[in-house]
Structure 1
Amino acid sequence: MMNLITILFFILQLSIVSIGLAEQANNEFRATWVITWEHIDQYNNPGQNMEKIRKIMSDHKAANMNAVIFQVRQSGTAYYQSSYEPWGYYAGYQYPGYDPLEYAIEEAHKHGLELHAWFNVFQTSSTYPGTPAAEHPEWICRDQNGIPMTSYRSISPGLEEVKNYTINVAMEIVRNYDIDGLHLDYIRWNEHTNTGREAVEPIMELQRRDGLISSEELQNLNNNPSGRYLYDYNHRFSSGIPEGFDSWENWWRWSVTTFVETLHDSIQSVKPHVRLSAAVLGKYNWSGWQGYGTVYQDGAKWYNEGSIDHIMPMSYHWTTASGFTGMLEDNCPQCWRIFVEPGLESGRSFTVGPGSYILDENNVWYRHPDIVANIRSINWVKGFQFFSYRSWDENNYFNTAGQSFFQDKTKVPPTPNIFSIRPNKPLLAINAVDSVTMKLTVYPSTTNESGWLIIYRSMDPMATPDIGEIISIQYKSEDITYTDYLSDTDLVYQYFATQTDRFWNESESSNRVYTSSGPMPDKYKIAQNYPNPFNGMTTIPFA
């Protein structure tokens, strides 16, 4: 009788938790941005750098994150096998003995994580031989007098040859690597002027972060608008506003937007499951340092019209929980919600990017849980990406997060697409190794395509993939096994599994298997339901 009461009590508790989960479901994007120098060092041997990558993936898994945003193009140099651009500074400008992107993808998928290739677009400051700035100095942005940038170089989004070249560089990654997403950074015009930017160490150019500028830089930008590097050899200030436009501002925004649109179309034609995302400035079109009017980045337009699949604002201005909810929807019209409603209605992902390094610098690291909780109260936000990995690593925060505000595993939110066909459900078998050790095997319905196999555990007989507790997510196209260790043998648990495609379209639940407080069979055999899919019954005889 006591066991029955205990079971009923725990089912009631689980139901209460499930109500909370149902409000936000069990899908939530979680990642950090991993900068080049956080995953590779030219003074390390290949084994040491590969160990860095393994640790990065292990840390993300410990935090119950489900994605990594991994920088592979920086300043016009590559951290992968590129036929267009040279290896980067942190690789010593030479092949480092392994392919960082290929190895990162392998380890990410092994750890149940997506890998998004982080791609700096128009910021190409390096002049090492083979880089765009070295090979095509005519592409570099110019001021109103026609003088090109001499530091913090950017190539002009207004030049068709720049856009075509950069799309080719990006598409080489899409075609040659099994990435889950391509993530655009510096997808905008530059913020620099012809004052105060002449003598800069190359390493300073390399380590400049997108997302925020200092108050002094903003003041200089506002005080010297005529000194902005917003022109090129084919679109000179002296020639007037380009034909077909009523202002330079509209032309600047159009030039970036057409690049994004063309790249998205190119990806869709080759690998439509690869999601295109953009790191946009934290303020869309209001007050000071903002995307729309300062660097001519119309992220809301891209998001609303489907030119990107996922928008990731760099939300570095805010360090309080109320500040985040304010910029999302409480402080409208200085908020995101009113500008992105069509994109939200379409189901595309909008995720928030707290600047963890800013919280660290301001000695308010402890605010992370409250910030996460407040952002979660806004039901249209689908997750988080934190800047950056090193801040979390130096604060030993991955395990802490995985045991607190990220204690439950989550799936990546699905991507709306024309291929929204649910995969067939998998089969699940259980083998009790002993009273507390359950060996689970998932058999996917097809082994032709890669995807994600997900195992759920619950005491609630009504649990579904929308609210069930996830205990394992693995990237596979073949059978997987997972061993679950029970803490209480008096309780009866059920397990079920699903499989998803690369868009995270999820199948119906598999057959359900159960633990038992009594002796359990140690052998099983699965009889294939044939002819599939006409026979919906799966027989699992136990011995």
Structure 2
Amino acid sequence: MVKIMMKIIVTAVALTVATLAVAQSLLPPKYELRAVWIATVDNIDFPSRKAMPADSQRLEFQAILDAHQRIGMNAVVVQIRPAADAFYQSDKEPWSEWLTGTQGNPPDPYYDPLVFMIDEAHRRNLEFHAWINPYRAVFDVDSSSIAPDHITRRKPEWFFQYGKKKYFNPGLPEVRDYITDVIADIAKRYDIDAVHFDDYFYPYLIANQPLNADSATFQAHSNGFRSIGDWRRHNIDLLIQAVQKKLAELKPYVKFGISPFAVWRNQRDDKDGSATDAGQPTYDYLYADVRKWLREGWIDYVAPQLYFPMSFARVRYDVMLDWWSKNSYGRHLYIGQGAYRLGRDSVWKIPSEMPNQLRLNRANKKTNGSIYFSSKSLLKNPLGISDSLKKDFYKFLALVPPMRWKDRVPPNTPANISVTADKENGIIISWDKPSAAADGDTATYFAVYRFKATEKISINDVRKMVAVQRGTTWRDTTAAGGTYNYVVTAFDRLHNESRPTKAVRVTIQ
């Protein structure tokens, strides 16, 4: 029996038998994606300025991850290819100007930012989603730094200019092959958890500037289509299919997700659309048939950008949440939350707006989590939203939801669990990594659960989950006096959970 001096704050909650069922339904979610977009284009989030020294970049990224981990995040979506450039070592595309100041110049002193960012995310048990802009090639034709070997210089016939940006022409088969090869190269060489596209496919229309730069391509590669709109959608379909197929060949565990504009189609244009009045729905203007991709199983998750308040009559948040939940076809639905809009106008100055949106998300059983745009905005804590996440919505740990269509075989149970305790180090729980499961997978990370001696051991109650980590030793410094049982479970890369270990018991006075 070991005596440990601790400060104890105890909150007693009495539950009668009559209220137990209600209380169970109100348990915090065990599985919920909690992610944030980290945008690199134009130095929105990281790095905070061009040409920052490499050591400062690394320190800044670590600080960003630490801050989001404290809020309760379990994943990051990091933009690694904003404009046919690279935040990683590539033989295909030049280093990004937003990393080094001049496109094509490597970091100084040299390091591979993508290796570093993935390692740092995984060290904190955060999933790393590699955010790629497939078609944008030049961010601003007047001011962007363009390397001599940039693809727009090597293959100018692959591109068209619209407004002040240059885009890959999606109608060219060689463009589709090139983009697929770029993504395959990333997947092969880096330990990413997912490939992520945002809402940019064909460009958003600019007022009084019709998009007709691909008319000649339509004539040359129409593939039997009479409508240029249907042809454009087909072009994007082919890329989505190619990327999905390539990822399945290379690394079946790598997820593929899309974050489209909020509205697929307005109901006035399609009976299957939403009761909205959106200006540029993704199907009709960006030529991205995301609903089809979900129905066909070409993507693993969708994260519609619901950056609208519930009072915005043309595109109401609650209407779109309901629509996407009915049209996700069994794939994961994560909601894009507009943290960057908080405090900007009269509606978004209402502190309860986003918390109410999050409550709606949780009340919808087909919603699997949220992604916040973007990192810098969230860390500024507008209207106290980060505090609300940390102290309320994300008070308890949560795990990334498993994708049963990709993998449903759990890992084996951790072996040789033991517990020791002493005055200096607290309670030390140790275990061994299990042997490989039937599908060859072993454990990627572990969860530690703590129960009072009088409590039933149930790993369904996330409030009893006290640690999630990749190592096989954990120190508990928060247990008050009393007797506790500990169990450990293992998770594979796609978040299937093993059976718990036998319980080990320790008494503290």
Normalising to structure 2: TM-score of the pair? 0.83
| Distance in 2 (alpha carbons) for counterparts of 1:435 and 1:11 | 36
| Distance in 1 (alpha carbons) for counterparts of 2:309 and 2:69 | 27
8 Å Cα contact 2:133-2:200 kept in structure 1: yes
| Distance in 2 (alpha carbons) for counterparts of 1:336 and 1:68 | 22
Counterpart for residue 248 of structure 2? 268
Structure 1 residue 467: Cα displacement: 4.5
8 Å Cα contact 1:125-1:153 kept in structure 2: yes
Counterpart for residue 376 of structure 1? 362
8 Å Cα contact 2:129-2:193 kept in structure 1: yes
Counterpart for residue 4 of structure 2? none
8 Å Cα contact 2:135-2:168 kept in structure 1: yes
Q: 1:417 aligns with which of 405, 409, 422?
A: 405
Paired positions, count: 459
2:56 aligns to what SS in structure 1?
Answer: helix
How do 1:92-491 and structure 2 match up within 5 A? 92=101, 93=103, 94-96=105-107, 97-126=110-139, 127-141=146-160, 148-149=161-162, 151-193=164-206, 220=207, 227-229=210-212, 231=214, 233-236=216-219, 242-286=222-266, 287=277, 288-318=279-309, 323-329=316-322, 335-340=323-328, 343-344=329-330, 348-362=331-345, 363-364=348-349, 366-367=351-352, 368-395=354-381, 398=386, 400-417=388-405, 419-427=407-415, 428-434=417-423, 437-446=426-435, 449=442, 451-459=444-452, 460-465=455-460, 467=462, 469-475=464-470, 480-490=472-482
8 Å Cα contact 1:60-1:398 kept in structure 2: no
Structure 1 residue 9: Cα displacement: 6.1
The verdict on how the C-alpha distance between 1:9 and 1:118 changes in structure 2, with shifts beyond 3 A counting, is closer
Matched, 1:19 2:19: no
| Distance in 2 (alpha carbons) for counterparts of 1:137 and 1:155 | 9
1:33 aligns to what SS in structure 2?
Answer: strand
Counterpart AA for 1:31: A
434-443 or 449-458, which deviates more: 434-443
Counterpart AA for 1:170: I
8 Å Cα contact 1:70-1:116 kept in structure 2: yes
**Structure 1 vs Structure 2 CA RMSD:** 2.8
Matched, 1:52 2:60: yes
Counterpart for residue 39 of structure 2? 35
2:233 aligns to what SS in structure 1?
Answer: helix
Percent identity over paired residues: 25
1:265 aligns to what SS in structure 2?
Answer: helix
| Distance in 1 (alpha carbons) for counterparts of 2:461 and 2:227 | 49
Q: Deviations over 1:158-189 (max 9, x none)?
A: 11111100011111111111111111124521
Counterpart for residue 83 of structure 2? 75
Q: Deviations over 1:125-157 (max 9, x none)?
A: 25433333232221123xxxxxx4362111111
| Distance in 2 (alpha carbons) for counterparts of 1:418 and 1:191 | 33
| Distance in 1 (alpha carbons) for counterparts of 2:472 and 2:419 | 12
In structure 1, list runs of 5 or more residues that go unmatched.
1-5, 142-147, 194-219, 330-334, 519-543
8 Å Cα contact 1:119-1:182 kept in structure 2: yes
The verdict on how the C-alpha distance between 1:395 and 1:324 changes in structure 2, with shifts beyond 3 A counting, is same
8 Å Cα contact 1:63-1:400 kept in structure 2: no
| Distance in 2 (alpha carbons) for counterparts of 1:260 and 1:463 | 41
8 Å Cα contact 1:183-1:278 kept in structure 2: yes
How do 1:480-519 and structure 2 match up within 5 A? 480-490=472-482, 492-517=483-508
379-388 or 179-188, which deviates more: 179-188
In structure 2, list runs of 5 or more residues that go unmatched.
1-9, 140-145, 267-276
1:366 aligns to what SS in structure 2?
Answer: coil
8 Å Cα contact 2:253-2:406 kept in structure 1: no
Q: Deviations over 1:493-536 (max 9, x none)?
A: 32211111111111111111233246xxxxxxxxxxxxxxxxxx
| Distance in 1 (alpha carbons) for counterparts of 2:463 and 2:369 | 19
Counterpart AA for 2:250: V
8 Å Cα contact 2:204-2:280 kept in structure 1: no
Structure 1 residue 233: Cα displacement: 4.7
The verdict on how the C-alpha distance between 1:123 and 1:297 changes in structure 2, with shifts beyond 3 A counting, is same
Counterpart AA for 1:366: P
The verdict on how the C-alpha distance between 1:150 and 1:381 changes in structure 2, with shifts beyond 3 A counting, is closer
166-175 or 387-396, which deviates more: 387-396
8 Å Cα contact 1:21-1:467 kept in structure 2: no
The verdict on how the C-alpha distance between 1:8 and 1:389 changes in structure 2, with shifts beyond 3 A counting, is closer
| Distance in 1 (alpha carbons) for counterparts of 2:311 and 2:31 | 24
| Distance in 2 (alpha carbons) for counterparts of 1:7 and 1:66 | 27
8 Å Cα contact 1:120-1:187 kept in structure 2: yes
The verdict on how the C-alpha distance between 1:418 and 1:120 changes in structure 2, with shifts beyond 3 A counting, is closer
| Distance in 1 (alpha carbons) for counterparts of 2:456 and 2:492 | 26
| Distance in 2 (alpha carbons) for counterparts of 1:187 and 1:450 | 36
Structure 1 residue 231: Cα displacement: 1.3
| Distance in 2 (alpha carbons) for counterparts of 1:7 and 1:17 | 19
Structure 1 residue 15: Cα displacement: 6.0
| Distance in 1 (alpha carbons) for counterparts of 2:76 and 2:350 | 21
| Distance in 1 (alpha carbons) for counterparts of 2:134 and 2:501 | 43
Q: Deviations over 1:214-255 (max 9, x none)?
A: xxxxxx2xx65xx2146165324xx7x924224222111111
| Distance in 2 (alpha carbons) for counterparts of 1:314 and 1:360 | 18
1:153 aligns to what SS in structure 2?
Answer: strand
| Distance in 2 (alpha carbons) for counterparts of 1:381 and 1:316 | 16
8 Å Cα contact 1:253-1:296 kept in structure 2: yes
Structure 1 residue 420: Cα displacement: 2.1
2:162 aligns to what SS in structure 1?
Answer: coil
Counterpart for residue 523 of structure 1? none
Structure 1 residue 449: Cα displacement: 4.2
8 Å Cα contact 1:140-1:149 kept in structure 2: no
